[in-house]
Amino acid sequence: MMYPYLTLNDQTEITHSEMKEDGSVKVYIETPDENGGFHSAICWLPQYRWENIQGYSEEEMSFFRELVRNNAHLMLKQTPRRSALTG
């Protein structure tokens, strides 16, 4: 399950998952584009491992890297922990 974290002025949505059993949290960033699609990127915390970056410029990614780094402690603190009962 993904939980809303932040919506930016350009309608970029930042969401995060519950904390996985290994302590990781998936952060998903998605921005609508002018063609009816989306730009997107995934970051895994606490490793700050980025993957599946699609459509964002290096300047945009620099902004998102800083935003995630500055907010990671809040996302990690507020995320529910995944339990064996919830799967």
Residue 27 lies in a domain: yes
pLDDT digits (tens, 9 = 90+) for 2-57: 999 999 999 999 999 998 989 899 999 999 998 989 999 999 999 999 999 999 99
Residue 86 lies in a domain: no
Residue 34 lies in a domain: yes
Provide φ and ψ at 30, rounded to 5°.
Answer: -145, 130
Q: How many domains does the chain have?
A: 1
Residue 51 lies in a domain: yes
57 lies in which domain range? 2-78
Residue 67 has pLDDT above 90, yes or no: yes
d(CA 26, CA 7): 17
3 state SS of 85: coil
Residue 84 has pLDDT above 70, yes or no: no
Please name the amino acid found at residue 68. Answer: V
Give the predicted TM-score (pTM) of the model. 0.86
Helical (H) or strand (E) element with 53: strand 49-54
